[in-house]
Chain A
Amino acid sequence: MEKEQFYYDNKIVKLFLIATIVWAIVGMTVGLMVALLFLYPNYMEGISWLSFGRLRPLHTNAVIFAFVGNGFFVGMYYSMQRLLKTRMFSDTLSKIHFWGWQLIIVAASITLPLGLTSSKEYAELEWPIDIAITLIWVIMGINMIGTMIKRRQRHIYVAIWFYIATFVTIAVLHIFNNLEVPVSAFKSYSVYAGVQDALVQWWYGHNAVAFFLTTPMLGIMYYFVPKAANRPVYSYRLSIIHFWSLIFIYIWAGPHHLLYTALPDWAQNLGTVFSIMLIFPSWGGMINGLLTLRGAWDKVRESAILKFFVVAITAYGMATFEGPMLAFKNVNAIAHYTDWIIAHVHVGALGWNGFIIAGMLYWLAEKLFKTDLYSQKLANVHFLIGTIGILLYTVPLYVAGFMQALMWKEFNPDGTLVYGNFLETVTAVIPMYWMRALGGTLYLTGFIILAYNIYKTAKQGSAVEDELAEAVPLKQISSRRIKGEHWHSWLERRTVLFTILTTVAILIGGLIEIVPLILVKSNVPTISSVKPYTPLELEGRDLYIREGCNNCHSQMIRPFRSEVARYGEYSKVGEFVYDHPFLWGSKRTGPDLHRIGAKYNNNWHFNHFLDPMNTSPMEDKILGTSRNFMPKYTWFFTDNLDYSNIQSKMKGLRSVGVPYSDFEIEQAPYLLQQQALEIEKSLRQDANYVANYGDSHMENKEVVAIIAYLQRLGTDIKKTE
C-alpha cells in the first residue's frame, strides 16, 4: 500500500507551549504573593481583591488548570498526532480549545479576586464559567476521539489510554461536582448539602489530583521519557495492569479527605482501604518510567531533560506513597488541617508536575524550533535551583505540620491545653514560612530561566508550523493476522469500546460511595433544632464564601479530646443539612469556627474585623512586632450590604430542600433589616463604638451580616438541651 503524506500541526503545540510558560510564571507568582502574606500580613492591606482568601484559590486554579492544564495540552497535541500518525481531527476545534481555555483562565483571574466563588476547592469558579469549561472540554474530547478514529496506527499506545481516562473522568467529575442552582449572574448554590456536598467535593477534589495532575502526566511520561532516553518502554504488561488498576481504584479514595469528620464510618474506611490499594498501581507507573531508563543512566548524567524526568518520577513515587500513609486514620489525625498537607501537595505539584513539564518543554523546544537548546548550562541551573527550591519548600512545612499537630493536642496534666491560645501555635511556625517562601522563590526563578532559555531557543531556530510526515493508511486486517491476538491488543484497536470501558471503570467507585449517602436516610440523622439561616445570616454566609474564609478556617470539629477542649462539642452530621455548599474547610491557618457562635459578643467581632490585632495580637519573634495573619476587613465597614438578591437566593435554596416558607421569602428584606438593626443596637453598649461609629449606620454595612452568621454558627444544637 502507498504511503500517504500529511502534516502534523505544530502551531497548536507552540501556542499551548507559550501559554504553559506564561501561566506557570503567573500561577507561581501568585503563590509567592500568598506565601509572603504569612510574613508581611499587611503588605496588601485594605485591598479586598488581594486578600489571602481570594488569592489562594487563584493560585491553586492557576497552577492546576492554567499551568499543568496547558502543559498537558502541549504534550497531548504533540504526541497524539505522532502516536496516531495523523494530523488532529480538526484545526478549528484545536483553535477553539486553545482560545477557549485561555479565556476561561482569564475569566478565572478576574472573577476569583472579585470574590465570585462557589467555595468548593479547585472548583471555585462560578456557574457561567463552569458551563464554558464543560463546552471546551467536550470540544477537546471530540477532537481527541476524532483523531483516534482517523488514525493510521492500528493500536493505541499507553499514553493515549491515559489521555482518554483524563478526558472522560474530568468531564464526569466536573459536571457532577458543579451541579448548582444559579440565583444570579455569578452566584449559585450547590445542589448538595453538608456531608453529601463534602463527599461529592472530595470525590472531585481527590480525583482532580488523579485525573488532571496524574493521568495526563503519566501519558506525557510514556511518550517523552522513552523518546528523550531513546530506550524502549520497560514492560508492556505492566502498563496494562497499572493503567486499569490505577483508574479503577483511584476514584474510590476521595473520602480519605474527610477522615474523622462527620462522614459516616463506612465511607471513611472505604477511602482508607482504597488508598492503601492504590500504592502499587501508582508505583507501577513510577517503575515503568524509571526502568525505561535502564541502560541509559549514563545519559541521565549528561542530559538536563532526563534529570528533570528522573526527579519528577521519583517525586511521583514519594507523593503516591505518602498519600496512602496519610489515609490511615491515625496518621491523618496528625496531618489533617496542618501544613503537612501543603508540603505533601507541593511534592506532587513542584516535583512531579512541574519537573515533568519542564523536561518536556526543553525537549520540545529543540523539536519545534529545529535547533539545539540555547543553553544546556541554563537548563542545568534551572534543574539545580528547582530541586533545592522543592526541598526548601517542603521540608520546613513538614516540620511545621508536626509542630502544629503536637501543639494543638498537648495537654497539661490537669486536663487543660498547654497552648490554649491558638495564636501560640501560629507564631511557632513563622520561621518555617520564611523558608517556604525562599524555596518558592527559587523554584519560580527556575521557571523564569526556562522561559528565557526557550525564548532564546525559539529565536535562534525556525518554527515549522506544519511538519511533513508519511504513513501507510489502515486497511481491513485479515483474520489470519489477528489469530491468537492478545485480548488487550484487540481492545487497543477498538478506541470507542476502550473509552466506554474506561468510563465504566471510573464510575463504579463514585456510584457506590455517593449514591447511598444521598439516598439512605440513616446516613444523615436529623437534629430537630437545626433550622435554616435567617436572611441576614445567609447574606453573612455568602460574605464568608466571597472572602474565602474557608481557606484558613475549618468548620468541622473532629471527635478528639483536644479539639473538644479547644473548640467545644464535636461536629455532628445533622448540623449541616442546610449548608449549600458545605464549608468544612481543609486547613487551619486560623482556629476552627464551627462553635464560634455566641462565644464572644458582637463588639468583639466588630473590633476583630476592624483589625484582628485589636483582640488577638500575636508576637512575631522574627520581625519583632505584633501581627495577625488575618487581614483587616476594612471594606466590611464601608460597603453597604447588597441584599437585592436575597429572595431569589432563598427561592434557589428552597428548590434544593431548604424549608423557607412563602412568608419568610416575601418578608426577607424586612426580616433582614430588623436583625441588622438589633445587632447595631447591641454594638452601642460600647462607648468607643458610639463615639467612632455611632453615626455610620453600621446596620446597612456588610459587617452586621458576617457577625450575624458567625454568631449563629454551631449554636442550633445547643437548643435541644
Chain B
Amino acid sequence: MSNNQNLSAWQRFYQRMTKAHELGKEEDIMTDHNYDGIRELDNVLPPWWVWGFVITVLISIFYYVKIFTGDYNQEQEYITEMEQGEKEVAAFIKQDKIDNPDKYANRTTAYTDAENLAKGKDLFTSKTCFACHLNDLGGSIGPNLTDNKWVLGGGFTNVFNTITKGGRPGKGMVAWETSVTKKEREQLTSYIISMQGTTPANPKAPEGDIEWSK
C-alpha cells in the first residue's frame, strides 16, 4: 500500500477493512493456478468479513447458551403474552364501563320501525347470515328461523344472545360480538323476529325443543 498520506480518512478506513491488493500490481499475489485460463489471486481475507464471521459465531454461541441457561422457552413466552393480554383487556374494560356504561347495561332495544328493520335486512346479507339461514330465513346449513321451534330459545333476548355469543359448539354459529356492533345486532334481531311466521320457499324441518312464536 502506498501513498497513504494522500488518502482521506474514509479511504484509509476502507483500505484497512478490505486489504485488497492494489490493482495493477496483482502479479505479486497471483497463484500459479491456471484452470482453463482462469487465474486465481490470493488476496488476504477482507478484515470486515473475518470480523463479521467471528462476531456472528460469538453471537450465536451467546444466544444458544443464554437460552439454555436462562428461563426462556416457547411455552413460557406464550403464558407471559397471554397474561399481559388479559391484564390489558381487564384494564380497558374497567375504564370502558365508566366511559360507556350503555355498552355494558343489560339492556337491549327491540325495533319495529321500517327503517331499522330494513337495516337489519341489509345486515342479514352483508354479514353473511344468509349463507346458512338463506335469504328467506328458511334455513339450510343453519336452522329455519321462521318456524316456532328454537334450539336456543326464541324471542328477542334469546336470539340476540345467540347472535352475540354464538350457538352450540360444532354447529357453525360463531359469536358475532367481535365483528357486529351492539346496535347492529339489535337491528338484526329485530328483523329476524319480524320474519317469524312468514312462509319461506323451501322450509327446513323444525329444529329445537323450545317453542316460541309472536
Contacts and interface: CB of A to CB of B under 8 A. Distances in A.
A624 interface: no
B46 interface: yes
B141 A604 contact: yes
Contacts of A223: 36, 38
B139 A570 contact: no
B63 interface: yes
Which of B24, B42, B44 has its CB near the most chain A CB atoms (within 10 A)?
B42
Contact of B44 (A235, A687, A688): A235
Contacts of B41: 232-236
B67 A269 contact: yes
A417 B88 contact: no
Interface string B140-174: 11000000000000000000000000000111100
B134 to A, nearest CB: 8
Given A233-B38, A276-B56, A607-B141, A283 B49 contact: yes
A412 B19 CA distance: 55
Interface stretch (B113-121, B186-194, B202-210): B202-210
Interface stretch (A167-175, A508-516, A595-603): A595-603
A635 interface: no
A685 B131 contact: no
B49 A284 contact: yes
A614 B205 contact: no
B102 interface: no
A82 interface: yes
Interface of A is mostly: helix
B52 A559 contact: no
Given A411-B85, A601-B141, A227 B37 contact: yes
B88 A277 contact: no
Interface in B62-110: 63-64, 67-68, 73-75, 77-78, 81-82, 85-86, 88-89, 92-93, 96
Contacts of A614: 131
Interface string A303-346: 00000000000000000000000000000000000000000000
Interface in B41-57: 41-46, 49, 52-53, 56-57
Contacts of B82: 561, 564
B46 A287 contact: yes
B20 interface: yes
A415 B132 contact: no
A236 B205 contact: no
Interface string A248-291: 00000000000010000110111011101101110110010001
Contacts of A277: 53, 56-57, 60
B64 A280 contact: no
Interface of B: 20, 23-24, 26, 30-31, 33, 35-46, 49, 52-53, 56-57, 59-61, 63-64, 67-68, 73-75, 77-78, 81-82, 85-86, 88-89, 92-93, 96, 128, 131-132, 134, 138-141, 169-172, 177-179, 202-205, 207
23 contacts: A79-B36, A83-B36, A157-B35, A233-B41, A238-B45, A241-B45, A245-B53, A265-B74, A276-B59, A279-B56, A280-B56, A287-B46, A294-B20, A414-B93, A420-B179, A561-B78, A564-B82, A570-B78, A599-B172, A603-B140, A604-B172, A687-B139, A691-B202
